[in-house]
Chains A and B, each alone.
Chain A
Amino acid sequence: MIKCKLTKDAAVISVSPALYPIDAIYGASYVFIDRAYIFLDGDEKKNINIYIKSKKKSSSSALRSLVGEFQNELLNYSFRDKINKSNRKVREGIIERALAVFGPQEILNEQDSGDYLKDPLGIAIPWEEKHAKPKAK
């Protein structure tokens, strides 16, 4: 359930994170940051309070409308979150198999041929130089 309290120029929406995941709250908030100031508080596990303040001076009906839109967007993002979670593995599998043919290209091998001259692993340094004990003076 979404509880909503309206003041003169701001609103507070209280939601249960069990029903509206935190990622959905972030997602919906992101969509509104051009039109409103959003502030979050509360307990991530029990109840999250979303403070919404319109950037422009607006009437109470305009504020209600903004809050209504936000609540709809919250529902949208919650559904998106559900879709993503239920399909993630299959989707990742499809993409992995689809792109597997585009493996390392010749161009990367040619880049490596340039890098070896810098000898990042010190392979070209003779063993004696690396490990020989200094001669006694």
Chain B
Amino acid sequence: MLSLKLNKSLYHLAAIKKAIKAYAHLADISLIKLKNYYLVKFNSVDTQIKVVLKDEFCNYMLALGKGPR
């Protein structure tokens, strides 16, 4: 299972939710709120995209508008 820890002060919830919605067709994605981080878990990921999924997800949030906020 893939997971991603996103720093709360650098990645905001609205952007993460938008990214989850956009990537929903590629994996089962869940979000857990921790103290200083958001933990994003990716389940049932196709093997072909497993290698790049997390990276592309992070880039997507940056592309939402010069700042994940």
Contact = CB atoms under 8 A, between A and B. Distances in A.
Direct contact of A and B (CB under 8 A): yes
B58 A37 contact: yes
Interface stretch (B5-13, B25-33, B40-48): B5-13
A37 B63 contact: no
| A interface bracket (residues with beta carbon within 8 Å of B) | 10 to 19
A23 B67 CA distance: 7
B57 to A, nearest CB: 10
Interface stretch (A41-49, A67-75, A89-97, A110-118): A41-49
B63 to A, nearest CB: 6
Interface stretch (A24-32, A58-66, A98-106, A123-131): A24-32
B58 to A, nearest CB: 5
A44 B62 CA distance: 16
Contact of B59 (A38, A44, A45): A38
A41 B10 contact: yes
B55 A37 contact: yes
Contacts of A30: 62-63, 66
B27 to A, nearest CB: 17
B55 A27 contact: no
B66 A43 contact: no
B58 A39 contact: yes
A48 B56 CA distance: 20
10 contacts: A26-B62, A29-B62, A33-B63, A38-B58, A39-B55, A41-B5, A41-B7, A42-B7, A44-B10, A45-B9
Interface of A: 22-23, 26-27, 29-30, 33, 37-45, 48, 53
